[in-house]
Amino acid sequence: MKINLRVVTPEKIAFEGEIDQISIPTGKGQITILPKHISLVSTMKHGELIIKSDEKEILMAVYGGFVEIRKNKMTVMTDIAERMEEIDEAKAEEARKEAQQRLLRKDQMSDVAFADTVAILEKSLARLKVAKRKHTRHL
Amino acid sequence: MQSTRYIRRQIQSTKNTAKITKAMEMVSAAKMRKSQEAALIARPYAEAALKLLGNISNSVESKKDYPLLMERKVEKICLLVATSDKGLCGGLNSTILKEAVKIISENQDKEISLITIGKKAEKFFRGKQNILAVFENIGDTVELGETLPISKMLMDDFLGEKYDRVIAVYTNFVSTLKQEAKVKNLLPVTEESFKETLDEMGRDEKGRTKKMVDNTEYLFEPSAEEVLKYLLPALVETQVFHVILESNASEHSARMVAMKNATDNAKELLEDLKLSYNYARQQKITQEMTEIAAGVTAQEG
């Protein structure tokens, strides 16, 4: 028994296929879904998707969205989904530093700029979290 | 009779123009394919989101708590007019602008403000209408992130009751040869308008729209209300993104067709010019021969 998974973003289908299990960062915390899970709809935070299928592991950075599971069919809707291999770690690190620097001067920022910077920070953190795994794994 | 030199110069300049229009045609063709692909690829996400909306609205009891869904008495309208930045694309922009003007004149008793996408719309309405915001230079390969400021502004202002309805006017890409002006309600969010968007993105593989609502009981985390609160903005964002993608695909195919016509016309013109060039050249030769013959006759005589 497997789960039929689709990871979709407005720009592409990032993943499609049969998998054994998946861990997702929901609004309430990380959960792992196994086949025969109850029908579920949940919000998703930024973080990492860990997809396991046939002993293989696929890691993706996702940024917000929704998860829907129904009868072993699962759809992950997110704004951005990047595979570990696609992530440019140096760039993400740079973006994180830049965002943190800017947040230090937050009293001079407008609400919108503040929200934008926090969003950039969260995004780069999600990317970095996934990218860091590269070093502990052989691909 | 025009001199041969003059005609030769004309031929050369027509040739050059044809070369340019041909090149533009090729560029537009490539861009068109890309933007068509982008429009298609956005579909699975939109489909999944709409399905979710259908399922959730069954589970959420009162819609009153969601201002994005609320129909208000319409007194202030915001028009989102999407045109291209550049010209040379046939009647594309004028069709859109005409449609927008029609809506404005139909709603004269209401307060109308505009948000323009593309330089052409801004140029046309500047000074005539109240323009709230101008978005320009949205790239040929647009990413969702680039359209988020637009959807964010629309939603914020709608919730802040700056306007009671948002109507988008844009070109819908039907086929390479056919693009039509399209008017769509963006806000408040209704299932109908979203279904329409989905239809425009193309039907599913089986050629029909799937049944969107089923009776599965879902477990909602944290709660149906909370999920809906996040889902609605995502739906609006997708729709705005879609408006831009459609406009982009339309712009490129319209330009491609316009440039193809221009190239064809230039070729036709070249044929005509060549004819008159040869005619003029022959006439000149005949005239010279007559002159020589006349000279010879005069000497012999």
Q: Name the packing angle between helices B224-300 and B4-41 (round to 10°).
A: 160
Backbone angles phi, psi at B141, to 5 degrees: -105, 90
Q: Do A110 and A80 share a structural domain?
A: no
CB contact under 8 A, A12 and B231: no
**Residue B178 CB neighbours (<10 A):** 12
Instruction: Please report the domains of chain B, with CATH numbers, ordered by start residue.
Output: 28-255 (3.40.1380.10)
Q: Do A101 and A44 share a structural domain?
A: no
A79 Cβ under 8 Å from any chain B Cβ: yes
Query: Which residues of B are designated catalytic?
Result: 89
Q: Residue B141's closest chain A neighbor by CA?
A: A11
Closest CA–CA distance from residue A30 to any residue of chain B (Å): 12
Handedness of CA B268, B270, B273, B275 (dihedral sign): negative
Please tell me the predicted confidence (pLDDT) of residue A136. Answer: 64
Residue A87 pLDDT > 80: no
Residue A85 pLDDT > 50: yes
Q: Do A69 and A23 share a structural domain?
A: yes
Q: Do A25 and A71 share a structural domain?
A: yes
Q: How far apart, in whole angstroms, are the C-alpha atoms of residue A32 and residue A50?
A: 9
Q: Do A129 and A119 share a structural domain?
A: yes
SS3 A33: strand
A115 Cβ under 8 Å from any chain B Cβ: no
Q: Residue B52's closest chain A neighbor by CA?
A: A68
Structure-token match 């016509």, residue found: B261
Q: Are A35 and A72 in contact (CB under 8 A)?
A: yes
In the structure, what pLDDT confidence band is assigned to residue B179 with cuts at 50, 70 and 90? confident
Q: With pLDDT > 70 as the criterion, what percentage of chain B qualifies?
A: 91
| Domain that includes residue A122, residue range | 86-136
Please tell me the predicted confidence (pLDDT) of residue B74. Answer: 87
Pick from B168, B171, B187: nearest CA to B81: B168
Question: What are the E-state strand segments in chain B?
Answer: 76-82, 111-117, 130-135, 165-173, 179-187, 219-221
Q: How far apart, in whole angstroms, are the C-alpha atoms of residue A80 and residue B139?
A: 19
> Can you tell me the mean pLDDT for B114-132?
89
List pLDDT tens digits, range B250-261. Answer: 999 999 999 999
Please tell me the predicted confidence (pLDDT) of residue A134. Answer: 66
More confident: B206 or B150: B150
Residue B209 pLDDT > 60: no
Q: Do A13 and A61 share a structural domain?
A: yes
List pLDDT tens digits, range A41-70. Answer: 899 988 889 999 888 888 888 888 889 898
Among A53, A69, A84, residue at a domain's last position = A84
Q: Are A4 and A71 in contact (CB under 8 A)?
A: no
Q: How far apart, in whole angstroms, are the C-alpha atoms of residue B3 and residue A129?
A: 76
In total, how many domains does chain A have? 2
A116, two tokens: 């934008």
Q: Do A105 and A55 share a structural domain?
A: no
**Which residues on chain B are in Cβ contact (under 8 Å) with A40?**
218-221
Q: Do A57 and A106 share a structural domain?
A: no
ipTM: 0.72
List pLDDT tens digits, range B17-63. Answer: 999 999 999 999 999 888 888 877 877 888 788 778 777 776 776 66
Handedness of CA B56, B58, B64, B68 (dihedral sign): positive
CB contact under 8 A, B216 and A8: no
Q: Do A59 and A111 share a structural domain?
A: no
Q: Residue B222, preceding bond cis, omega within 30 degrees?
A: yes
Q: Are B119 and B85 in contact (CB under 8 A)?
A: yes
A13 Cβ under 8 Å from any chain B Cβ: yes
Q: How far apart, in whole angstroms, are the C-alpha atoms of residue B126 and residue B108?
A: 18
Handedness of CA A118, A120, A126, A129 (dihedral sign): negative
SS3 A66: strand
Write the single-letter amino acid at B279.
Answer: Y
Q: How many residues are there in chain B?
A: 301
Please tell me the predicted confidence (pLDDT) of residue B207. Answer: 41
Q: What is the mean pLDDT of chain B?
A: 85
> Mutating which of A7, A28, A31, A41 best tests the B interface, going by the most B Cβ atoms within 10 A?
A41
In the structure, what pLDDT confidence band is assigned to residue B295 with cuts at 50, 70 and 90? very high
Write the single-letter amino acid at A130.
Answer: V
Please tell me the predicted confidence (pLDDT) of residue B17. Answer: 95
More confident: B193 or A100: A100
Please tell me the predicted confidence (pLDDT) of residue B214. Answer: 56
SS3 A139: coil
- Considering only CB atoms, A8 lies closest to which of B45, B220, B222, namely B45
Q: Name the packing angle between helices B4-41 and B43-59 (round to 10°).
A: 40
CB contact under 8 A, B217 and A39: yes
Q: Do A78 and A18 share a structural domain?
A: yes
In the structure, what pLDDT confidence band is assigned to residue B216 with cuts at 50, 70 and 90? low
Among A84, A106, A123, residue at a domain's last position = A84
Residue A133 pLDDT > 80: no
Please tell me the predicted confidence (pLDDT) of residue A139. Answer: 46
Rg over alpha carbons for chain A, rounded to the nearest Å, is 16
In the structure, what pLDDT confidence band is assigned to residue A137 with cuts at 50, 70 and 90? low
Q: Do A95 and A27 share a structural domain?
A: no
Q: Do A91 and A68 share a structural domain?
A: no
